[in-house]
């Protein structure tokens, strides 16, 4: 069972998702349909997203089985988005994958990088992970800014890696290990000392995504 903590920095709180968040998260995802749909994970063979209450039930089940850590982001007391650490693996891999979204109404205030930094630091110090990764579609410039601000290291291109918006999509993968996170990601972010160039993407990979896989 993963114990998901409540973590705070200034106006930003991240805490465990609860079944009763279904209403507000359902409304936010509906209101932000056009903002989110290009980046939303989908299930092959299904065109409809399941109801939010089912999504929450499923991710809480994964948390009970040590596979996920599902957070909501609160900003000034309002739920505004989600961060989920999924694919948790312990032992010789000790890694997890971080995904996130935020309501368009509060985008551009640095909320997501702060939420991710709080959670990545907890992954190392609280959960005992060795590594976390974030995978991003090449077209998602806003999300690519998030990993740059955090100083995450570019690892490479994964072709047709995650089913997003109805098809298998290429992703750029970024990671940070505990050895690279000395002092904490939040401290680096708030001091502006993250090494952004670690997230540089080689031109060869930018070019590769324009070439269809055969
Ligand atoms: C990606 C995302 C989570 C970033 O969250 P955020 O809290 O706005 O993060 P930041 O405030 O650090 O902004 C990141 C970048 O978004 C861009 N941005 C800022 N305001 C924006 C707005 N209103 N609309 C679009 N992009 C905006 C800027 O390029 C910004 O970088 P900058 O601060 O260097 O100018 C958010 O844009 C989002 O939820 N997008 C839709 C879902 C998504 O892409 N999820 C991630 C999948 S990998």
Domains defined for the chain, CATH in brackets: 7-208 (3.40.630.30)
- Residue 213: is its pLDDT beyond 90? no
**For residue 45, is it left (φ>0), alpha (ψ between -120 and 50) or beta?**
left
Q: 0.95 cut: is pTM over it?
A: yes
Given pLDDT bands bounded at 50, 70 and 90, which one contains residue 49? confident
Closest residue (by CA) to atom 48 of ligand 1? Answer: 136
Beta-strand ranges (E) seen in the chain are 7-9, 12-16, 69-75, 78-89, 95-102, 131-136, 153-164, 167-177
Closest residue (by CA) to atom 1 of ligand 1? Answer: 143
Taking alpha carbons only, the member of 194, 157, 151 closest to residue 173 is 157
As a whole number, the mean pLDDT across the chain is 97
3-state secondary structure of 97: strand
> Ligand 1 within 6 A of 39 CB?
yes
């Amino acid at each position: 069972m993963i114990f998901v903590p409540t973590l705070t920095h200034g106006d930003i709180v991240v805490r465990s998702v609860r079944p009763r968040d279904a209403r507000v998260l359902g409304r936010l995802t509906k209101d932000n349909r056009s903002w989110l749909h290009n980046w939303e994970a989908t299930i092959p063979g299904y065109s409809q997203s399941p109801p939010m209450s089912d999504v929450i039930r499923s991710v809480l089940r994964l948390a009970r089985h040590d596979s996920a850590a599902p957070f909501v982001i609160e900003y000034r007391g309002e739920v505004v988005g989600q961060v989920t650490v999924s694919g948790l693996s312990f032992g010789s891999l000790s890694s997890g994958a971080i995904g996130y979204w935020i309501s368009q109404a509060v985008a551009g205030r640095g909320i997501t990088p702060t939420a991710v930094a709080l959670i990545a630091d907890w992954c190392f110090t609280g959960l005992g992970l060795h590594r976390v990764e974030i995978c991003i579609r090449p077209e998602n410039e806003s999300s690519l800014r998030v990993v740059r601000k955090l100083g995450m290291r570019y690892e490479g291109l994964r072709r047709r890696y995650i089913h997003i918006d109805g098809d298998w999509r290429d992703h750029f993968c970024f990671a940070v290990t505990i050895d690279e996170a000395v002092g904490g990601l939040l401290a680096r972010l708030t001091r502006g000392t993250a090494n952004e160039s670690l997230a540089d993407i080689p031109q060869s990979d930018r070019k590769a995504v324009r070439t269809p896989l055969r």
